[in-house]
Structures are given as structure tokens and as C-alpha cells.
């Protein structure tokens, strides 16, 4: 993987913020759809779920080849290895308190990987059953991790992409009455990042504000939620979308796909992202080759991240240089490297 790189790192203090509790009407399809009294067992399970929350470090990283200080939220340190733990905990906590998910219930969700892993872990902590619906072709490591938590995996045709998995998850939820989190349309997704992630960032930043926030888009929950949370706190933050070159346009809904080389970054199907009011958002396209190379440099510098972290880091570097002055640029490192051992990240082309 080449010569050793040395990154400059600045680690700031971190604090804990408790989860909030809200109410909302139950969805028309998927979930119990009734109001139920929480029994002691479920309350204890919720306490265990809340206790698993990790307030991840926020560090300032300057890789020698790129020459830009970027504040990076190390979300790969979440228990399941990705930022998706936040939405899994938040969505399930609220669903249980609303009576949409009962003791012994089943959860079904569509995901290309990290969300399914997060829900598999949360379901194991809650004593619930989980079925992950994923496109055929996802890395074998992700399937192994999900099954290790006692969850089931159903693969849909690769040609149908994530949309095919979403349709199948909806069908399973409607037929069985299972709870369907609907990560691409559930506003609790963005709220988790607005209430949790943004709050942590504000407590950790010592610069006084954030000028630019960069994130790739899977569901859009991170970009939308963190931007909202920072703006509600008074930050004049500019949102930046990091897009792999091979990703489809946002408006190309029926043909949307994701870069096979940068898993987890998907566009064109998220109601959360499409409904967000961010007219000042700009987009930086990053080639898969460049994102993977940056990811390898981050790993050699001691950050065991997946390809979407390299994508986010490069987009943040570009935003820093093109903004002018010395803006405070912030991004997230969404997941860990071990779910990509069988992918190109650890195997050069032609090997």
C-alpha cells in the first residue's frame, strides 16, 4: 500500500447528550400501528440500547498529500462500526415508545450494508428479529456480520439495485406486519443526526463555528440532519455533497444506482434528501480511484475507514481550497474498513 504517511491530528474533548423522546402517527404499512404500554422488559431493553451510544471523537486531520485541515467525526467507532447506529437506535427507540414495535416483533429493512448491520445489532440488543434485504453483490463480510447478530439476509437481483431491495422490504412488511424503518423516507433518520450528531459536534468544536459540512448521500440523513442542527445553533454552515463520479443524478430516480467501488453512497431515491431545503448546497464529484487512494492513505495514517471516508475527505479538501481564506471544514468518516476486506480497497486491480 506504499510508503507510510503521517497525519496531523488534533483531538478535542467530547460530551454526552441524552436521547430525546417524541411521538408521531404510525405508518400505514409495517409496524403494529397501535399504542401499547411498555412493559418492564422492553424498557430495560431500551435502556440497554441507549447505553450502547458512543460519542465519537472529532479530530482535525491534515494528510501531507492534500494540505488542508479537515475536522473529521470518527463515526466508524460506533458499536456496529458505522454512523448508521445512530439512526437505528433513534428510529427503534421512537417506534417502541409509539407502540409500532412490540416485544417479540420483527424488523425488516432494505440496505446495501451498513444500515442493515446497525439494525441487526440493535435488534439483538432489544431481543427482536431482523431481516435485511440487500442487493446481490454486496461484500461477503457485510452478510457475515449481519448473520453473526442472528439476523436473516434476503438478497434481491443485483440488476434491480437498492430500489429492488426497497420494494421487497415493503412487500415483506405489508405481508407479515413487520416494522419497516423506511430509512429513505423516515424523518427520524435526519432527526437522529440533527439531535445527536450535530449536538456532539457543537460541544466538541473549539473554533466557534463550522463553515462547511461535507457528506456523501446514502439516505441523505447525515447531510440534512447535521446541517439543520448546526444552523439551528446559529452556524452559517454551507452544505457540500460528496458524489462519486459513477453515482447517478439525484433526479434519475428509476435508474438510480450506487458506485460499486464506494459502497453506501446512493442517490435518487431519498425523500429525506429531496425534501430538504438547501438551495445553497454545492456538489463535488470525486473519482472512485481518487477516493480509494485517499482511503488507503487514511488507513496508513491510523484511521481504519471504508471508501466513503476517502470520498468525504477529498471533497472536504477541495471545499477548503476553493472556499478561500481558512474555512472550518467538517466531515464524517461513516464506517470501518473490515467490511471491505474482499473489495478493491485491499486488492489492487488485476490481482
Domains observed in the chain: 8-14+52-81+190-346 (3.40.50.1100), 84-176 (3.40.50.1100)
Give the C-alpha separation, 284 to 241, whole Å: 6
Compute the C-alpha angle 338/170/195, nearest 5°: 60
Kindly give the residue spans of alpha helices, DSSP state H, lying in 177-287: 187-192, 198-204, 221-232, 271-275
Give the C-alpha separation, 155 to 143, whole Å: 10
Helix 40-51 vs helix 84-98: crossing angle, to nearest 10: 160
> For residue 319, what pLDDT is reported?
97
Give the C-alpha separation, 102 to 261, whole Å: 38
For 42, list phi and psi in degrees, rounded to 5. -70, -35
Q: What DSSP state is assigned to residue 82? A: B
> For residue 347, what pLDDT is reported?
81
Give the C-alpha separation, 198 to 31, whole Å: 29
Give the C-alpha separation, 99 to 335, whole Å: 31
- Below-70 pLDDT ranges, the chain: 1-39, 246-270, 349-351
How would you class 338 by CB atoms within 10 Å of its CB: exposed for 0-12, middle for 13-18, buried for 19 or more? middle
pTM attached to this predicted model:
0.84
> For residue 14, what pLDDT is reported?
31
Of residues 125, 241, 122, the one with CA closest to residue 181: 122
> For residue 127, what pLDDT is reported?
93
Query: What are 138-195's pLDDT values in tens digits?
Result: 889 999 999 999 999 999 999 888 889 999 999 999 999 999 999 999 999 999 999 9
> For residue 52, what pLDDT is reported?
87
Q: Give residues with Cβ within 8 angstroms of 85, minimum separation 6.
A: 52, 53, 54, 78, 79, 118, 121, 122
> For residue 232, what pLDDT is reported?
96
Of residues 221, 226, 182, the one with CA closest to residue 202: 226
> For residue 107, what pLDDT is reported?
98
> For residue 296, what pLDDT is reported?
95
Q: What DSSP state is assigned to residue 159? A: G
**Location of C-alpha cell 417479540:** 104
> For residue 163, what pLDDT is reported?
86
> For residue 218, what pLDDT is reported?
82
Amino acid at each position: 500500500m506504499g510508503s507510510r504517511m503521517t497525519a496531523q491530528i488534533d483531538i478535542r474533548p467530547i460530551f454526552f447528550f441524552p436521547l430525546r423522546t417524541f411521538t408521531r402517527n404510525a405508518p400505514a404499512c409495517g409496524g403494529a400501528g397501535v399504542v401499547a404500554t411498555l412493559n418492564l422488559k422492553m424498557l430495560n431493553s431500551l435502556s440497554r440500547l441507549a447505553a450502547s451510544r458512543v460519542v465519537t471523537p472529532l479530530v482535525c486531520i491534515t494528510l501531507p498529500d492534500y494540505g488542508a485541515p479537515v475536522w473529521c467525526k470518527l463515526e466508524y467507532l460506533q458499536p456496529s462500526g458505522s454512523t448508521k447506529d445512530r439512526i437505528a437506535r433513534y428510529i427503534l427507540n421512537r417506534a417502541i415508545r409509539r407502540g409500532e414495535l412490540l416485544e417479540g416483533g420483527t424488523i425488516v429493512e432494505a440496505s446495501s450494508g451498513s444500515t442493515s448491520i446497525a439494525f441487526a445489532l440493535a435488534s439483538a440488543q432489544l431481543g427482536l428479529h431482523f431481516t435485511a434485504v440487500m442487493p446481490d453483490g454486496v461484500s461477503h463480510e457485510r452478510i457475515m456480520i449481519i448473520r453473526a447478530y442472528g439476523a436473516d439476509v434476503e438478497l434481491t437481483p443485483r440488476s434491480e439495485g437498492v430500489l429492488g431491495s426497497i420494494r421487497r422490504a415493503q412487500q415483506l412488511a405489508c405481508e407479515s406486519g413487520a416494522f419497516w424503518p423506511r430509512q429513505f423516507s423516515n424523518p427520524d433518520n435526519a432527526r437522529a443526526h440533527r439531535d445527536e450528531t450535530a449536538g456532539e459536534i457543537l460541544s466538541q468544536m473549539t473554533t466557534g463555528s463550522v463553515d462547511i459540512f461535507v457528506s456523501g448521500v446514502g439516505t441523505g440523513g447525515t447531510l440534512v440532519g447535521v446541517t439543520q442542527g448546526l444552523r439551528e445553533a446559529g452556524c452559517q454552515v454551507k452544505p457540500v455533497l460528496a458524489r462519486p463520479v459513477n453515482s447517478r443524478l439525484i433526479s434519475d430516480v428509476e435508474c438510480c444506482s450506487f458506485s460499486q467501488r464506494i459502497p453506501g453512497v446512493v442517490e435518487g431515491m431519498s425523500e429525506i434528501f429531496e425534501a430538504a431545503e438547501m438551495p445553497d448546497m454545492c456538489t463535488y464529484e470525486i473519482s472512485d480511484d481518487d477516493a480509494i487512494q485517499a482511503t488507503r492513505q487514511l488507513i496508513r495514517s491510523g484511521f481504519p475507514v471504508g471508501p466513503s471516508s476517502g470520498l468525504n475527505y477529498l471533497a472536504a479538501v477541495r471545499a477548503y481550497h476553493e472556499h478561500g481564506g481558512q474555512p472550518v471544514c467538517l466531515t464524517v468518516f461513516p464506517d470501518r474498513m473490515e467490511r471491505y476486506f474482499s473489495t478493491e480497497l485491499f486488492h489492487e486491480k488485476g490481482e
